[in-house]
Structure 1
Amino acid sequence: MNQKEFSKPVSLRRVQLTDSFWKMEMELVRQEMIPYQWDALNDRVEGAEPSYCMRNFKIAANITKQRAELGEAYQEKKFSTEIFQPLPEDENLMEDRFYGFLFQDSDFYKWIEAVGYSLTQHPDKELERIADEAIEIVSAAQQPNGYLDTYYIINNMDHIFTNLRNNHELYCLGHLTEGAIAYYEATGKDRLLKVAERYADYVESLFGAEDGKLKGYPGHEIAEMALARLYETTNNEKYLKLSKYFIDERGKKPYYFDSESKEKIKDKDALRYQYYQAHLPVREQTEAVGHAVRAAYLYSGMADIARLTQDESLYKACETIWDDMVSKKLYITGGIGGTHIGEAFSFAYDLPNDTAYAETCASIGLVFFARRMLEIKPNRKYADVMEKALYNCVLSGMALDGKSFFYVNPLEVLPEACHKDERKFHVKPVRQKWFGCACCPPNLARIISSIASYAYTETEDTLFVHLYMGSRINKVVQNNDVSIDITSSFPWDGAVTVQVDAAKPTTMTIALRIPEWCNEYEINAPSGDVVEKDGYYYITREWNGTETITMNFPMKVKRIYGNPMLRENIGKVAITRGPIVYCIEEADNGNNLHLVTLPKEAQLSTHTDHRFGYEVTIIKGTGRKLKLTASSSNELYHGSEEEQFEDINLTWIPYYTWANRGEGEMMVWIRQ
């Protein structure tokens, strides 16, 4: 690692997003998703699975109040802490107990994080008032010692931290911390931040390498990256130390998860806990394994600690795992996690299309990991994957109206199979209003609201442009104020303009990413020192007054082929243009899409289209479709008839827009 290459995200308070594409998505989050999700957290969405989230906080707050007021006279009610998702048998006869998934607190924390990011771009007094009132409810549930998890506060405080492997207390701490920091940075209000600090302080008093402390670590990771961020926010070393401890301790033998488990362990020498990425110490792990969301969150935390402590061995582990994931386990859409069994990575090159899991949250976690690797070293390979995931698998997780969501993002769908084949029950042919396990919708809200922090990172004298989106960035260099205005036509056109306004002569560097999908590009800039390195175009000069850089990254339609070891895609082709992956859908191309082929000689053309309510680029071309003759329709097998094809007109739409026009077939990879 070279510390001089380290960068950090540009503060959202110094970026105003003006991009026509991403501003539209952010406004969707602000106007639709944040209010909708607040209703969902309060169980006010008709037809959606109840959340019980805010209900749990209110019950926990009341219990905390009664405990304080009554002391030993308080009559404790205790419920099981062995149930992953307690649900009421009768909605009309509900007890004052915890309902919902045991990690339900985190849904509010992700919501408040999205609110914080949104407020940096669009101040909203009414939304801030609602958020402040909600924070008071959450704060009131916190215990005097700092503990805050409604599942145990309501059910049985005697059992806290007795099932780290499965019961998500440290996961909820992580999301609380992320949300609290986002809201503090947006509003300057530290009420929730102090709550997060008190909980982190309590956890730090219990866990660590010192004698007498618990030697555990999170079953579902995120606390690691959150504690690193808390350290950078407060400059309190103990949060960095705790995060590093969780990472260093993970996977050591004897396994901590064995010690807390009630299961009888047969072979104590066998590797276990791959699902949790806890089968080996993290520096010995060489491939992405287990639950994909947990994995991406862990790898993000590892990258943070590698940078903050300049740990070469940890950085090497991050690089090794990254290369394994991207070269062997990444969908063309930026999805990760090929199997629904464990929502996990499968073996190398096992990327099924119709049973793909590719959870929305996993792609969001991949974006977290990519940005953190960019903070260590600006290398195009990280930004390329980040861009791929954001424009495809991440956006696919949300309907165009922001009111329904995909948990799973397949690359091929036959609705009949989704309804009748239990191997594909996890795949939904239409987006859902909400989920009992609702991690994805609020995760979408928080990443879209903070999208600018993934587009730009900086050092004292350098601005890195990783993603091209219209923005105004204010930067101080050598005590001089510099304004950088970026105008972008992405993702439909590769024209970009960067205007630099420096009131006084200021020497600084602007580093521009050259996308991997662009074979030829054009950059016109004022004279200066120019260096191309690791996929970035560095321009260093003394900027004075208003000066402009213009760029063009031609977006050509490309046919993409899979590695020969991708058994699912042999003889098939996918279509991309710029950062967008395309698919064919029944609404445009009829049913039985598996009968479609694309001739090698077929010409493909781009067209501006408004079928989704705003301007997108679609692709058209002539394909062929196998005719269903009398023999092929009625006979399961036949031996003499030759295949007969008919020419058809094909239309490809951006992958993220599929399933916005009702239920129907969809395919990314088609036969060539």
Structure 2
Amino acid sequence: MNQAKILPGYWYDRLAVNAETAIFHQWEQLEASGSIENFRILTGETEGFREGWFFADSDAFKWLDAAARVYATHPSPRLAALMDDFITLIGRVQKTDGYIYTYNQIHFPDTRWANLQIEHELYCHGHLIEAGISHHQATGRNDLIEIAQRAADRIVADFKGKGPVYTPGHQEIEIALLRLYRLTEQADYLDTARQFIEQRGRQRGFGLSVFRQNSIVEKRKEVVKRQRQAHLAAHPDLTPFQVPAGNEAKKPWNITLRYTLNALTGKYLQQHAPVRAQTVPVGHSVRFAYLETAVSMLARESGDLSLLTPLERVWDHMVSRRMYVTGGIGSLPALEGFGNDYELDPEFAYAETCAALASMFWNWEMVQLTDRAQYSDLFEWQLYNAAGVGMGVEGTSYLYNNPLTCKGGVTRQAWYEVPCCPSNISRTWADLGKYLYTNDEKNVWVHQYVNSETVFEKCGNVNLKIETGFPWQGNVRIVVTPGETQAFSLHLRIPSWTKDTLLRINNEGHDFPTADPVDNEQTASGYDPRISRFFDIQRNWSSGDLVEIDFNMDIQLRRAHPKVKGHKGKVAVTAGPLVYCLESVDNYEVDIFNVQIDPTSLAEQFDSDLLGGTSVISAKSLDSTPLTFIPYYLWGNRGPSQMTVWVRA
């Protein structure tokens, strides 16, 4: 993938916060919470007790992955030193045969791969492998990739050729092995990833198996608890790190029963049916989207396009019936996953940040597999909304679950007991330049409109530069500079949210052809990426050719499907790729959950002093009370507050 250079503008500023503040804040939190210290304890370098969940290694490895990706575009001696020290520490912890999992190595040194559906050993190894790949690509060095390959080779040796019992509970290792295959072209990695994917959902008696594993896991937790008590008794002056309490999530009355049934039937883990037979998105939403990402990668790398049908089937079902207007997925807390069709209560919404990011990974693979604009459209929508909300403007506070209505109890936190989201955001943003374009010898696709510049070597060293006011303004300037005059097609994504687009090529106006009618069922959320399409410009390009586009970003009022309960008479306010919300801090004298807006009063303006500079939408209620809407991704940056996306109109 091309890593386009991000130029000054909206994303330039956000990526600077990511590189200069967020990545170091995350390291400090990992140190404070014991995730890094766990490795030192294992080496004997320090004395202490292992902290965190059994999968805490994954958060440390994911940070290293994010740090490497940040370093690729924002190198700094401080970041390099942190990575080097941690890589050395990992090398000391890893067993000579490649295995590394501090939970077992410290507490149960004779145990490996015992509770694959619950304890996430393979998930942790997957994040280590991804970190190794990213570090190698960023630095050209081999120290971490060699550690990662030893881990991958251990997995191949222990799992290749085995049956459905040996599939992971939390998908991720599949993505890691497929990325490693792309780097090394070693067939064992492709074959093992394919095995994990194809064996999924084929285990007989899965419910009984997961019940037994859960029993073993609980007994192991009791052993660790007793070990901790003994350690604290021997060290009375020790004060363990206290993780912030985290956020509340309003739950349906029957959530415990639903969670139990999901787990025992395999749906929670996408183990209920083989991948090719799965028809709807179910279970834990992050695991689901990681699985679909891996299936898409497998289809691309193996050429097995028979996988495309189930991929498109579950994607379409998700978009049409099980996705929030923000692009968030996962409507049930505790389950952290999908509910039934049209079950999209805005206050129950879990919509985990990692789920939106995982969906973006999936959409990126799908657009490369199909060249269909709908996947890039959803990527953009989630980038700005369902994922964009996950990091605060200062880079040191985060949201894990993302309701669309908050009546209190959800605030941005510096860290979480399960801190999977912060570094996941950071690694995705750091790679933003890789998600903007694709190309081959005769085609260039523009997927995202971001101030950027890149060179396409496959097309004969074509330089392409974009200047835009996104996400606030719809103006886009594209300067095309080939090495010499040559013919190729430039494919411009026409977003689903725009109408009446204007196009000029070298100051000459051109008409967009009318899009073919799309026979789609109305989506549950009111947002439909399937409307998006690519517009193709085929011509002989010369140095300095200028393409100018004006995308209409008028305010739109979106309505949910009638089957979505509690949304009758309500709208979601959007403009361009952004979803807006009412936050109590801006509307402190208003009952934001019951106020009725006057749709004719909506007007957009830019406030350079608010939250680093943002568009706001002003409105009036039916009794002429002033109202202020801000972008959804910015809510919660000014302390505890209430918020709603859906308003009466």
TM-score (norm. length: structure 1): 0.83
> How far does residue 525 in structure 1 lie from its aligned partner after superposition?
2.4
- The one-character-per-residue Cα deviations of 1:173-194 (angstroms, maximum 9, x if unpaired) are 1111111111111110121111
Match of 1:36 in 2: 25
Kept in 2, the 8 Å contact 1:53–1:100? The answer is yes
**Per the alignment, do residues 167 and 504 of structure 1 end up closer, same or farther by CA in structure 2, a change over 3 Å counting?**
same
Moved more, 279-288 or 17-26: 17-26
Match of 2:563 in 1: 565
> How far does residue 508 in structure 1 lie from its aligned partner after superposition?
2.5
Kept in 1, the 8 Å contact 2:270–2:288? The answer is yes
Match of 2:633 in 1: 656
Q: Of residues 405, 412, 416 in structure 2, which corresponds to 1:435?
A: 416
**Per the alignment, do residues 655 and 530 of structure 1 end up closer, same or farther by CA in structure 2, a change over 3 Å counting?**
closer
- Which 5+ residue runs of structure 2 have no aligned equivalent? 216-260, 517-531
Kept in 1, the 8 Å contact 2:164–2:200? The answer is no
Match of 2:552 in 1: 554
Q: Of residues 167, 175, 181 in structure 2, which corresponds to 1:217?
A: 167
Match of 2:251 in 1: none
Q: CA–CA distance in 2 between the matches of 1:16 and 1:608?
A: 26
Matches within 5 A, 1:150-549: 150-209=102-161, 215-255=165-205, 258-259=208-209, 262=212, 272-415=265-408, 418=409, 428=410, 430-477=411-458, 480-525=460-505, 535-549=533-547
The code of the aligned residue for 1:449 comes to A
Structure 1 residue 594 and structure 2 residue 571: aligned? Answer: no
TM-score (norm. length: structure 2): 0.86
What secondary structure does 2:617 align onto? Answer: strand
Q: CA–CA distance in 1 between the matches of 2:333 and 2:117?
A: 20
What secondary structure does 1:319 align onto? Answer: helix
Match of 1:610 in 2: 608
> How far does residue 256 in structure 1 lie from its aligned partner after superposition?
5.9
Q: Of residues 11, 18, 28 in structure 1, which corresponds to 2:2?
A: 11
Q: CA–CA distance in 1 between the matches of 2:105 and 2:146?
A: 19
Structure 1 residue 27 and structure 2 residue 8: aligned? Answer: no
Give identity over the alignment, percent: 34
Q: CA–CA distance in 1 between the matches of 2:125 and 2:549?
A: 44
> How far does residue 614 in structure 1 lie from its aligned partner after superposition?
2.5
Q: CA–CA distance in 2 between the matches of 1:28 and 1:264?
A: 41
> How far does residue 215 in structure 1 lie from its aligned partner after superposition?
4.5
**Per the alignment, do residues 439 and 263 of structure 1 end up closer, same or farther by CA in structure 2, a change over 3 Å counting?**
closer
> How far does residue 16 in structure 1 lie from its aligned partner after superposition?
0.8
Q: CA–CA distance in 2 between the matches of 1:96 and 1:667?
A: 45
Q: CA–CA distance in 1 between the matches of 2:511 and 2:548?
A: 17
Q: CA–CA distance in 2 between the matches of 1:434 and 1:253?
A: 37
What secondary structure does 1:349 align onto? Answer: coil
Q: CA–CA distance in 1 between the matches of 2:132 and 2:486?
A: 36
What secondary structure does 1:307 align onto? Answer: helix
Kept in 2, the 8 Å contact 1:329–1:345? The answer is yes
> How far does residue 512 in structure 1 lie from its aligned partner after superposition?
0.9
**Per the alignment, do residues 258 and 456 of structure 1 end up closer, same or farther by CA in structure 2, a change over 3 Å counting?**
farther
Moved over 4 A (4+): 255-261, 526-534
What secondary structure does 1:140 align onto? Answer: helix
Q: CA–CA distance in 2 between the matches of 1:186 and 1:253?
A: 40
Match of 1:425 in 2: none
**Per the alignment, do residues 657 and 306 of structure 1 end up closer, same or farther by CA in structure 2, a change over 3 Å counting?**
same
Q: CA–CA distance in 2 between the matches of 1:287 and 1:611?
A: 44
> How far does residue 297 in structure 1 lie from its aligned partner after superposition?
0.5
What secondary structure does 2:5 align onto? Answer: strand
Kept in 2, the 8 Å contact 1:291–1:345? The answer is yes
Kept in 2, the 8 Å contact 1:56–1:150? The answer is yes
- The one-character-per-residue Cα deviations of 1:589-623 (angstroms, maximum 9, x if unpaired) are 124212300235x3311111134343211111211
The code of the aligned residue for 1:483 comes to N
The code of the aligned residue for 1:132 comes to D
Matches within 5 A, 1:68-217: 96-209=48-161, 215-217=165-167
Kept in 2, the 8 Å contact 1:491–1:579? The answer is yes
Q: CA–CA distance in 2 between the matches of 1:437 and 1:315?
A: 33
The code of the aligned residue for 2:495 comes to P
What secondary structure does 1:576 align onto? Answer: strand
What secondary structure does 2:541 align onto? Answer: strand
What secondary structure does 1:588 align onto? Answer: coil
Kept in 2, the 8 Å contact 1:162–1:260? The answer is no
> How far does residue 441 in structure 1 lie from its aligned partner after superposition?
0.8
> How far does residue 260 in structure 1 lie from its aligned partner after superposition?
6.9
Match of 2:41 in 1: 59
What secondary structure does 2:556 align onto? Answer: strand
> How far does residue 502 in structure 1 lie from its aligned partner after superposition?
1.7
Q: CA–CA distance in 2 between the matches of 1:537 and 1:408?
A: 36
> How far does residue 138 in structure 1 lie from its aligned partner after superposition?
1.0
Kept in 1, the 8 Å contact 2:463–2:482? The answer is yes
Kept in 1, the 8 Å contact 2:2–2:437? The answer is no
- The one-character-per-residue Cα deviations of 1:162-182 (angstroms, maximum 9, x if unpaired) are 100001011011111111111
Matches within 5 A, 1:618-629: 618-624=616-622
Q: CA–CA distance in 2 between the matches of 1:186 and 1:264?
A: 40
Q: CA–CA distance in 2 between the matches of 1:556 and 1:260?
A: 51
- The one-character-per-residue Cα deviations of 1:443-495 (angstroms, maximum 9, x if unpaired) are 111111111222222223322111100111011135x3221111111000000
Q: CA–CA distance in 2 between the matches of 1:40 and 1:310?
A: 42
Please identify the structure whose Cα radius of gyration is greater: 1
**Per the alignment, do residues 649 and 261 of structure 1 end up closer, same or farther by CA in structure 2, a change over 3 Å counting?**
closer
